[in-house]
Amino acid sequence: MKYFIKYGLAFLIITSHLTGMEHSATIPVPTVEDFVQAVDNNDFEVISSCIEAAAWGYLDLNSHLDKVSKHLIVAAEKGYADIVRELLRIPGIDINAKYEDGTTALIWAAWKGRTEVVRELLQAPGIDVNAKDEEGTTALIWAASEGHTECVKQLP
């Protein structure tokens, strides 16, 4: 499989294993906005494609890590564990990114009782389990105050 980009389109050339012939297709190059919309819509396939495009150098997520990291919070809040897992593969993503009110992905996941997301986030290197929002509340306190005992059990 070979790729090249021209005029904002990705050209994909696939060689058939059966015939040895090359077949080509033109596909739009994904944008950061496509990525953001995919996170909002829990569209795992598009997110995976965007991350793959970034790995091949066709999408620059590194220049938008602040936006990408904030959407980790969105995915955590909504309970999109597969999306969170996929986002954690992005080099340089800020696992401890905060909204203006100081809430992080871990705080939101614990607050909303997203047990699987809490588990994924706790496995990420560099996670700050003691991060506090602007009121001084941690993920553990939020989980306990909302009665999310499975999340409380996971949090140190």
Q: What is the pTM of this model?
A: 0.81
At 110-126, the pLDDT tens digits run 999 999 999 999 999 99
For residues 46 and 82, the model is more confident at 82
Mean pLDDT score of the chain: 86
Residue spans of the domains in the chain: they are 1-29, 65-154
| CB 54, CB 64: distance < 8 Å | no
| CB 72, CB 84: distance < 8 Å | yes
Is 65-154 a CATH 3.90.1150.10 domain? Answer: no
Strands 2-6 and 22-28, by their bridges, are: unpaired
Q: Note the pLDDT of residue 30.
A: 75
Percentage, residues of the chain above pLDDT 90: 59
